[in-house]
Structure 1
Amino acid sequence: MESPPPVRADYTAADGLTLAVDLRHASGAPTLLFAHGFGQTRGAWNTAAATMVAQGCRCVSFDSRGHGESGRVPGGEYHMQQFVDDLLGMAQAQPEPPILIGASMGGLLGLVAAGEIRPTPFRALVLVDITPRWETSGVERILAFMQAHPDGFASYAEAAEQIAAYLPQRRERKSEQQLRPLLREGADGRLRWHWDPALLAGSLIGESERYQPRLLQAAAKVEVPVLLLSGERSDVVSHRTVDEFLALVPHARHAVVPGATHMLAGDANDAFTAQIAGFLQSLSSADAVAGAAIKQPATRC
């Protein structure tokens, strides 16, 4: 049975900027809040969210500021704290503390919020191929792709060709219908990526490296359950960065998705969502055990 389309909504951030939101299954539980990576849109979660809705979850995804259909910061002054505040606001707007599914940038923002804010805004965290310290070469490859075509493309077919070269592990090329939300047609008729060019031209990229000490400190303070998912072929996380993270967050679980790269959800959605479903089941089981312990009288020696 095909999942119904999401309900489109707007969220007004603390500074007045409007963020585009998709809501699926308004009465479901638990709430999963999906936060995409740098240069992505909420559409990156469409297949995963539809899968989790079919399992009864309430799914919320949104475009980060400067991405997709969300507003752009006047003057192009983007800073990491703006993104943290947006994510925190989105979490607090939910009827219950959500489980954050954060990919790359979205996961890092979640770590900051979960480690620094009390009460913790999330019930649990799923970090998708990201750790507080990352492999610089992998991030540089992503940025190189984002910066490669400032003049855009003459057609959707040309854009699809470039994506296919960037993601050779994908079997199918993106169709024009799939590409339409990712590109904007300019006054010159050229198709350009959905993100604000100021995201790449400003100070935001430099801030990400300076954020690493803050991220490491925040990770050590995370108290909620954590699942770290990494791609077997990722060039952004490594055994080194994963081991460091697990030392900081010893209660975290880690699973490797076979064959997947940094674009984990898109590469292997079935395996990705199966890991999330298993994690949710473990949370439900833990809640049931805790509830039973509360109801039972204390055992006396």
Structure 2
Amino acid sequence: MQSILVRMESCQANPAAFSTADGLPLAVDVRHAAGKPTLLFAHGFGQTRGAWNAAAATIAARGCRCVTFDSRGHGESGRMSGGDYHMQQFVDDLLALTHAQPEPPILVGASMGGLLGLVAAGEVRPPPFRALVLVDITPRWETAGVERILAFMQAHPDGFVSYAEAAEQIASYLPQRRERKSEQQLRPLLREGADGRLRWHWDPALLSGDLISESERYQPRLFAAAAKVEVPVLLLSGERSDVVSQHTVEEFLALVPHAQHMQVPGATHMLAGDANDAFTAAIAGFIEDLESAVDTA
């Protein structure tokens, strides 16, 4: 009974205070604070730490310390005055959170979070991470998939009159999901404005031309960083992804020949949400291999 209670408690998300170097508060949750190894989860552009809830709870119950956070301008984290966002700010935030952990973490990064992890893992010495899990992202991405994501994010600047209307739009964007999001699930993703309308959680300034165009200019840096990654790497891709393709995967594996690749059947770019059981099982297996390598060293 005691072990069951410990596992249940480890699944609970406990908030932790954290501020960036330039003073922005970041919303951070820690599950199983005393667990090992540490996993730091970095979400994708336009997502929140809530995207990791199911995976982080499952992995924490296995005995790991799991840390999730909202990037600046996302969710409950602070927003830049004047909306002046740059990619290096996100890299610096990730490194600051990494260095705040009791040990070098395994970084699990989806989309934008994975790209930030690649930059940090390739450019910083000693490596800030024990290992790197890239979730449906490679240094080169398929433009059509990214454009589809941005089109959804830009589609409703005036927000929604109700949670039901927002749920309908998400269902259209993610037709592979069988269940529509409930109001309770949507509350962390929407903010009610003074006009009573519900708008997405992200700062609209994130969608300005500067940050988006800057991400394209980051590609040479990403390729250079990937070629210098020394830590173990697991690339998880969705079988139905329109952001990662066989070509981009092969290109990445040529750059990082020691990386492992696993394709998750039926999953799209929203891999953790589409196939959470397969996603968490892949990460658990990767962790077990890392631990076994340490035991036999």
Report TM bin, short chain.
Answer: over 0.9
What letter matches 2:158 in structure 1? D
Using the TM superposition, give the Cα deviation of residue 289 of structure 1 relative to its aligned residue in structure 2, in angstroms.
1.6
Cα distance in 1, alignment partners of residues 245 and 12 from structure 2: 36
Paired position in structure 2 for 1:75: 82
Percent identity over paired residues: 82
How far 1:202 moved relative to its partner? 4.2
Alignment of 1:43-192 (within 5 A): 43-192=50-199
What is the alpha-carbon distance in structure 2 between the residues aligned to residue 228 and residue 105 of structure 1? 14
What TM-score, normalized to structure 2?
A: 0.97
Q: Deviations over 1:186-221 (max 9, x none)?
A: 000000000000000241000000000000000000
**Alignment length, in residue pairs?**
290
Q: Name the counterpart of 2:252.
A: 245
Looking at structure 1, the residues matched to 282 and 162 of structure 2 have their Cα atoms a distance apart, in angstroms, of 37
The residue that corresponds to 1:275 in the other structure is: 282
Aligned-partner Cα distance in 1 for 2:191–2:283 = 33
Q: Name which of 13, 21, 24 aligns with 2:31.
A: 24
The residue type equivalent to 2:164 in the other structure is: A
Q: Which amino acid aligns with 1:33?
A: L
Structure 1 stretches of 4+ with a deviation exceeding 6 A read: none
Tell me how far apart the structure 2 counterparts of residues 92 and 149 of structure 1 sit (CA, whole Å): 37
AA aligned opposite 1:265: A
Distance 1:74 1:118 in 2: 32
Please give the alpha-carbon distance, in whole angstroms, between the structure 1 residues aligned to 2:91 and 2:208: 20
Question: Where does residue 213 of structure 1 map in the other structure?
Answer: 220
TM-score, structure 1 as length reference: 0.95
Larger radius of gyration: 1
The separation in 1 between residues aligned to 2:148 and 2:17, in whole angstroms, is 32
Distance 2:58 2:273 in 1: 13
- Structure 2 CA distance for aligned equivalents of residues 282 and 24 of structure 1: 22
Query: What is the RMSD of the two structures over their aligned residues, measured on CA atoms?
Result: 0.8
Query: Could you give the per-residue CA deviations for residues 97-120 of structure 1, whole angstroms, max 9, x where no partner exists?
Result: 000000000000000000000011
> Deviation of residue 129 (structure 1)?
0.1
Letter in 2 for 1:99: I
Unaligned ranges ≥5, structure 1: 291-301
Q: Deviations over 1:238-270 (max 9, x none)?
A: 010000000000000000000000000000000
SS of aligned partner of 2:195: coil
